[in-house]
Amino acid sequence: MAADALLALDQGTTSTRAILFDAALHPRATHQVELPQHFPSPGRVEHAPEDLVAHSIACLRGALERGRVAANQVAGIGITNQRETTLVWDRQTGRTVHRAIVWQDRRSAGICERLRAEGIEALLTERTGLLADPYFSATKLMWLLAEIPDLHARATRGELAFGTVDSFLLWHLTGGRVHATDATNAARTMLYDIRRGDWDDDILHALGIPRALLPEVRDCASEFGTTDPSVLGAAVPIRGIAGDQQAATLGQACFSPGMVKSTYGTGCFMLLNTGERAVRSSHRLLTTVAWQIAGRRTYALEGAIFVAGAAVQWLRDGLGIIRTAAEAGELASRADPDSGVVMVPAFTGLGAPYWDAEARGAILGLTRGAGAAEIARAALESVAWQTRDLLDAMRADWPDPGGTVLRVDGGMTASDWTMRFLADALQCPVEVPAVAETTALGAAYLAGLQAGLCPAPEEDATHWRRRVLFEPAMPAPEAACRHAAWKVAVGRVTGPS
């Protein structure tokens, strides 16, 4: 039997799924398991490490079973994962020293304040393209090394391993034989020099992190070892790894400089391909590795919004004004479009381009005529206005003479109302792909590339197909006026700059 199937493992913040693709990158079978989150105290978010491993194996097995494909028919596995989430484990036993500290976790905010006060943030930004924020792995790792007795000494002796979720899963899937990561996940740790392509010793020294903890960094399409035969019944090569947002950029075929994609899940993440040039942002965006293939790095500007789909979840679970997320668009369509109600969903602070961890959410412009429909509309509009803030910053850092088309993916793209308003707010076309699971598609593409089944990025855009295109209908002056009202509302919840 020909080994021409591709298996993507997509380990996300709220669920784990595996999708089986054929050699032409058409999805054939899916298996998904919800992932519990643990909130031990305000600002802290954790995952049980055993869930990450058990759910991943169950999804891989389930996708193969549903697709009626044997393990020896799989040409490669591609792994994509929630980024920045931090784990440390014993190299002998594989057991972690603490639960996984999730990217959303804010416990290291005090460490970040100290780094800024000591003037270290400039070094971090220059080398890694990131800001001193609890979002990234480094300060989570610093917290673990400071809080758990003897951990730093054990790390220095080489007894422990650090990794993001991809590295942790790779370790367990290969039976503890491989401790590695890829360049995109390394670039999100705040320890990796994205221009030299190596862990940065100056940063490691400044943050007190032993190099012995760190995994080997490889290309996104690479030979990452094979699964232990006990996992799937045969040794299957693992041939691709990328962080979820970078995998989605590949899945959206944003292969040319200037192309932009935006993913709408719990949060929203927008990436703009800047080619072989790592662009230093003047507007508080992040500079990151989009992918590394055949030793060549492609870079991106990235903006992160902390609350997108989470605003819809709040309408459902917090306010109870909708029963399902799908009802939000229908409720918003009944609102008075001129109500003046604006929602700033800063439930956990504001991300790019504001980076205000102390900001908190607010609904402004309420009158006696405002009701559930106006609040639902304001919640959905807030996603569009936050996206416009990101796109405006990207256009300022990377002038776009040819115009912009935004490729979108994620759960919120199922709402035509939201996507139509997004096109209005951005004043640019919005494209929704035919294959909704672009993150898994990107991981499968990397595995297929390494297996020789898929062409190189510069030769391939054929795997991407459009489902629907939304063109802006709102007049540009009206969009600008409404965006200005949003900026005023943001100013009410942010601290002094």
pLDDT of residue 249: 93
Cross-strand pairs, 430: 406, 470
Share of the chain above pLDDT 70, in %: 98
Closest CA to 287 of 55, 106, 125: 125
pLDDT of residue 434: 86
Greater model confidence, 240 or 411: 240
For residues 86 and 100, give the distance between their C-alpha atoms in angstroms, rounded to a whole number: 6
Q: What is the mean pLDDT of the chain?
A: 91
**Fold topology of 5-236:** Nucleotidyltransferase; domain 5 (3.30.420)
Task: Return the minimum-mean-pLDDT range out of 22-36, 58-72, 175-189, 447-461.
Answer: 447-461
In degrees and rounded to multiples of 5, residue 302 shows phi and psi of -130, 140
Model confidence at 403: pLDDT above 80: no
Greater model confidence, 6 or 325: 6
Model confidence at 82: pLDDT above 50: yes
Mean pLDDT of the region 206-212: 96
For residues 296 and 291, give the distance between their C-alpha atoms in angstroms, rounded to a whole number: 8
For residue 218, count other CB atoms closer than 10 A to its CB.
17
pLDDT band at 494 (very low <50, low <70, confident <90, very high): confident
Model confidence at 392: pLDDT above 70: yes
The full DSSP string for 162-200 is EE-HHHHHHHHHTTT---EEEHHHHTTTT-EETTTTEE-
pLDDT of residue 354: 86
pLDDT of residue 120: 94
Which alpha helices (H) appear in 215-260, and where do they start and end?
Answer: 229-232, 244-251
Residue 249 and residue 290 in contact, taking contact as beta carbons nearer than 8 Å: yes
Residue 108 and residue 480 in contact, taking contact as beta carbons nearer than 8 Å: no
pLDDT digits (tens, 9 = 90+) for 90-109: 999 999 999 999 988 889 98
- 5-236 and 245-497, same CATH topology: yes
Model confidence at 124: pLDDT above 80: yes
In degrees and rounded to multiples of 5, residue 420 shows phi and psi of -65, -40
Could you tell me the two tokens for 350?
A: 């504001």
For residues 117 and 188, give the distance between their C-alpha atoms in angstroms, rounded to a whole number: 22
How many Å separate Cα 266 from the centre of its chain? 10
In degrees and rounded to multiples of 5, residue 158 shows phi and psi of 85, 15
Q: What are the strands, taking DSSP E only, across 306-385?
A: 342-344, 362-364
Single-letter residue type at 107: R
For residue 231, count other CB atoms closer than 10 A to its CB.
21
Mean pLDDT of the region 156-160: 95
Mean pLDDT of the region 142-151: 95
pLDDT digits (tens, 9 = 90+) for 341-387: 999 998 878 888 888 877 888 999 989 888 999 999 999 999 999 99
Mean pLDDT of the region 124-132: 93
Most confident of 126-130, 263-267, 302-306: 126-130
Per-domain residue ranges of the chain: 5-236, 245-497
pLDDT digits (tens, 9 = 90+) for 180-192: 999 999 999 999 9
Mean pLDDT of the region 254-262: 90
What CATH superfamily is the domain 245-497? ATPase, nucleotide binding domain (3.30.420.40)
Closest CA to 34 of 52, 19, 50, 20: 52
Indicate the angle between helix axes 416-426 and 372-397, nearest 10 degrees.
Answer: 40
pLDDT band at 497 (very low <50, low <70, confident <90, very high): very low
pLDDT digits (tens, 9 = 90+) for 429-438: 999 998 878 8
pLDDT of residue 352: 81
For residues 250 and 23, give the distance between their C-alpha atoms in angstroms, rounded to a whole number: 16
Q: If you ran DSSP here, which 8-state letter would residue 121 be given?
A: H
pLDDT digits (tens, 9 = 90+) for 47-75: 999 999 999 999 999 999 999 999 999 99
